[in-house]
Chain A
């Protein structure tokens, strides 16, 4: 382990000096275009997919190899410079928001698919590899990579690991954490640590399990071993129109109660349908108050029988139109409407907030009617898109920022929806992460003791809080004495702004 920056630096360096020192290291390692200091260029990195948080990084580094990345992290550790990892910059919680006095480490050039091992049902990829490209590489072998966030065409595997990304099909197939078996990991001191591997159940603590979903606060993965899933023999995608979300919700419950686990059940309400139509002309049923996109997959023997049950259950719960996608192009169009829904809302509203909360699925009717009431009372329109199968809501809160107070009103509604989720025993985020955006909500879901306990993990991995500081947790807490190190009181502690943990 490298020695403590606090003790090795003879005189405290200024921020500029420390950044310059890291930049020097990076320039030695990387071609010119891999070290970005030009202001106009730096600014293009000032936000991720959640564009209203913006911070210009002091330095952007785009490494091409794990060794380079580790060297840069080590330089950050040596000079006490905070760093933030970024993949494709599509996160929706500000998790890759840069640090003004720190380095943004971008993995977009680490994009090689190293191996596709059919026999082992694994692929080994670099963190910048795009999610969908893993599936594209595996498909000729009869396999695919199951987690499929809506942004799968651009989001990176490294980002998926950081966020424990899910997707429409996680109802049946689980999340990133269930599909990542191993990773080479660069800890905040710059050390390479192999986690997990090709085989399951590596002895020792499941550190990989802790790293997945830690939003870049524990370190950066530089290679990822993923499980590949057999392409199903049969896939049927059914688009079902209902008069109301209540009917669609009841049909969903009936399907689950019948013991069917569809690959996906997605719901969109009328407003969300309108947006998707405007964007991609997906040709959803006219006049629907809600649509369900239901996908069944598996062996041809089971899918056929399940399909007729699902058709019947939907009919019994009031569906007025059912459309079966008969070829890949039809299926793609149905999914395009759903997967484009967030950005498509830009077509019907100048501004909007994408919310992400989870409730127990059985609370769906109650929560939807409460959301409708919130919308009614406030006059703020809310479009609903959600993974109905697992209760993951994505209300889209619409507003026009040109109208005075509209932004605040929207934020209020958005926050109230999260409160509803917590009230029903749910979560403040099902897949977008806490990041910058929801750190303030963490205390509503977890007690101080819960959060303190999570911080123990942070302190084990990153005692100096250099890796993506300020995200995930609401208040900065310092780690206690680090074994073998002596250090002066942290400035925040001295100033009484943080407590020693």
Chain B
């Protein structure tokens, strides 16, 4: 028999796939260098049970071990054991959407989110990408985290001409990839109205119950200014004094999720400074991806002596807006909205932050509103930050799958809490030929509090 137990002595344990004691300490020789390689102790938590597989969008699409969380953790382990960082290995790390559905599903508590972040930082530093891939990534990160540039993108062709990016984009294929998303944004834009810059400080209606700082975000601020306005109105109506620090910028989520660690840290420091000066009790976020990253600033800035402590205190105060509203409890009266709603869990809200019940609770509390659950609700829609631009094919497959499940609910209005999801699902639903209304949870809540007609949302 050719089977051997523990041939190389790396493993001695029965339940775990790697023994931290054997991997820690020695200099890394394989895929990873010594600067925060994927943590062997965290890898060791994986018992290879496979419960994560059916929750993983890429496993659902391709049914291959190496495109599952368990497989990717195994690839990390291989890297620690000396396997080189090959193109194939990187390809499987890149293919991860970072949706964190596996983290929710894992009975052993494996922190895959930490592991993939550590791995991606190593990949960005150590892996030589093809020139086209490099250019595409460079371009994305020169636009998306910058609210001002993003705002300019609202008239995409005009922007392309003005910034002379059109040639570069055509070379990289970015135009083809971004175009459908831009088209979707544009389709949404008129309904959302003109950008409405929020004042720096908005007083609470009635008795002040809490002072909160509000993140306006990049994509949210640029393409869904109405969501920010609605958020501010709802918070005010529920007795919050809302502070909107003008010095805030990007939260760094897109950078961190794509292994651009240093860039992400820079964004984080700016944001910590901005909100520290505001002196607020809570920092409220209405974009799932931003919230999940901001809650992890403690880890992100742990190595920075000047910021570590402040970042931890900052992260402690971060809440998704639905969490705050449920925590405070409603004071503003709700007006009926006779509408059937399908609520889509944004991965970075449901899986990364564990916020599932709060948005549903808020929606259910609206008289006349009927809430439908979406089949395969835990499965990512394929947006995943900028994943749909970097990996358009799987993203589209997932989007179409999501659209089918949403349409099957028969709901009139799709509600979700993340700008990326909203854009992705919009384009998929348009493709499906069953157009329906789309809104952020807070827009629905705002409409109910204002007593606005349902038609405003549809």
The judgment on whether A and B are partners is yes
Binding site for B on A (CB under 8 A): 33, 36, 38-41, 43-45, 47-55, 62, 88-90, 94, 97, 99-101, 106, 108-109, 111, 128, 130, 151, 153-155, 278-280, 340, 342-347, 350-354, 399, 401-402, 407, 410-411, 436, 469-470, 476
Chain B 101-140 residues near chain A, CB threshold 8 A: 106-109
Which of A39, A47, A154 interacts with B83 by CB under 8 Å? Answer: A39
Cα separation A401 to B71 with both chains bound (whole Å): 23
Complex CA gap A306/B54 in Å reads 36
A-B contact pairs, 27 of them (CB 8 A): A33-B62, A40-B83, A41-B64, A43-B74, A48-B48, A51-B15, A51-B17, A52-B6, A53-B5, A54-B4, A55-B3, A55-B4, A62-B64, A89-B65, A108-B63, A109-B63, A151-B50, A154-B54, A342-B47, A343-B49, A346-B16, A346-B108, A350-B13, A401-B12, A402-B21, A411-B14, A470-B2
On whether the beta carbons of B64 and A279 are closer than 8 Å, the reply is: no
Across-interface contacts of A48 in B (CB, < 8 A): 48
Known pairs A344-B107, A346-B47, A401-B21; A52 contacts B65 (CB<8 A) = no
Is B78 in contact with A347, judged by CB distance below 8 angstroms?
no
Of A36, A52, A62, the residue contacting B14 (CB under 8 A) is A52
Nearest CB on A from B80, distance (A): 12
Give complex CA distance A192, B15 in Å.
38
Contact present for B107 and A279 (CB under 8 Å): yes
Task: List the B residue with the shortest CB-CB distance to A275.
Answer: B107
B16 touches A90 (CB 8 A): no
Number of A-B pairs whose CB atoms are under 8 Å? 154
* Docked-complex contact A128 and B109, CB < 8 angstroms: no
Residue from B3, B74, B92, B107 whose CB has the most chain A CB atoms within 10 Å: B107
A43-B78, A343-B106 given as contacts; is B50 within 8 A of A351 (CB)?
no
Chain B residue with the shortest CB-CB distance to A42: B66
A88 near B44 (CB under 8 angstroms)?
A: no
A54 to chain B, nearest CB (A): 7
Distance in Å from the Cβ of A337 to the closest Cβ of chain B?
10
B86 contacts partner chain A, Cβ-Cβ < 8 Å: yes
Nearest Cβ distance between residue B87 and chain A, in whole angstroms? 9
Interface flag for B53 (CB, 8 Å): yes
Cβ-defined contact, A94 with B48, below 8 A: no
Q: A279-B107, A351-B13, A410-B14 in contact; A90/B5 too (CB < 8 A)?
A: no
Report the minimum CB–CB distance from A102 to chain B (whole Å).
Answer: 8
Residues of B within 8 A of A100 (CB): 2-3
Q: Out of B2, B89, B108, B109, which one reaches A55, CB within 8 Å?
A: B2
Encoded as 1 (CB less than 8 Å from any A CB) or 0, chain B from 47 to 87 comes to 11111011000000011111000010011001000010010
Quick check: is B163 within 8 A (CB to CB) of the other chain? no
Question: Separation in Å of the A498 CB from the closest CB of chain B?
Answer: 11
Query: Which residues in B have their C-beta under 8 angstroms from that of A47?
Result: 17, 48
Nearest residue in A to B72 (C-beta to C-beta)? A44
* B242 CB, min distance to chain A CBs, angstroms: 33
Tell me, rounded to whole Å, the shortest Cβ–Cβ distance linking B390 to chain A.
19
B457: min CB distance to chain A, Å: 29
Interface residue B247 (Cβ < 8 Å from any Cβ of A): no
Contact between B108 and A344, CB atoms less than 8 A apart:
yes
Contact between B13 and A279, CB atoms less than 8 A apart: no
Q: Which residues of B contact A469 (CB under 8 A)?
A: 1
Inside 8 A of A94's CB, which chain B residues have their CB? 3
* Least CB separation from B71: chain A residue: A44
Cross-chain contact A401 with B75 (CB below 8 angstroms): no
With A111-B63, A407-B13 known to touch, is A343 a contact of B47 (CB < 8 Å)? Answer: yes
Asked if B11 is an interface residue, CB under 8 A from chain A, the answer is yes
A399 CA / B14 CA spacing, docked (Å): 9
1/0 per residue, CB under 8 A from A, across B364-379: the answer is: 0000000000000000
When distances are taken between beta carbons in the complex, the residues of chain A under 8 Å from B3 are 53, 55, 94, 97, 99-100, 436, 470
Q: Is B19 an interface residue (CB 8 A)?
A: yes
Contact B63 A51 (CB under 8 A): no
A-B complex: 4 closest residue pairs judged by Cβ atoms: A343-B107, A346-B108, A340-B107, A108-B63
Asked if residues B14 and A342 are in contact (CB atoms below 8 Å), the reply is no
Partner of B2, one of A33, A45, A101, A352: A101
Q: Given A45-B65, A351-B13, A153 and B74 touching (CB < 8 A)?
A: no
Most B CB within 10 A of own CB, among A50, A344, A346:
A346
- Most chain-B CB neighbours within 10 Å: which of A130, A154, A347, A410? A154
* B412 contacts A by Cβ under 8 Å: no
Known: A130-B54, A344-B107. A40 touches B78 (CB 8 A): yes
- Evaluate contact between A151 and B64: CB separation under 8 angstroms: no
Q: Given A108-B63, A108-B64: A38 and B51 within 8 A (CB)?
A: no
Residues of A with C-beta under 8 A to B63: 62, 108-109, 111, 128
Question: Any chain A CB within 8 A of the CB of B45?
Answer: yes
Contacts A44-B74, A52-B6, A402-B19 aside, 20 further interface pairs with beta carbons under 8 A come to: A43-B83, A50-B48, A51-B48, A52-B5, A52-B14, A53-B5, A55-B2, A109-B63, A151-B51, A153-B51, A154-B54, A155-B50, A343-B108, A345-B15, A346-B47, A346-B107, A401-B13, A401-B16, A469-B1, A470-B3
Give every chain B residue within 8 A of A106 (Cβ-Cβ).
65
Residue of B nearest to A55 (CB): B3
Residue among A36, A41, A50, A90 with the most chain B CB within 10 A?
A41
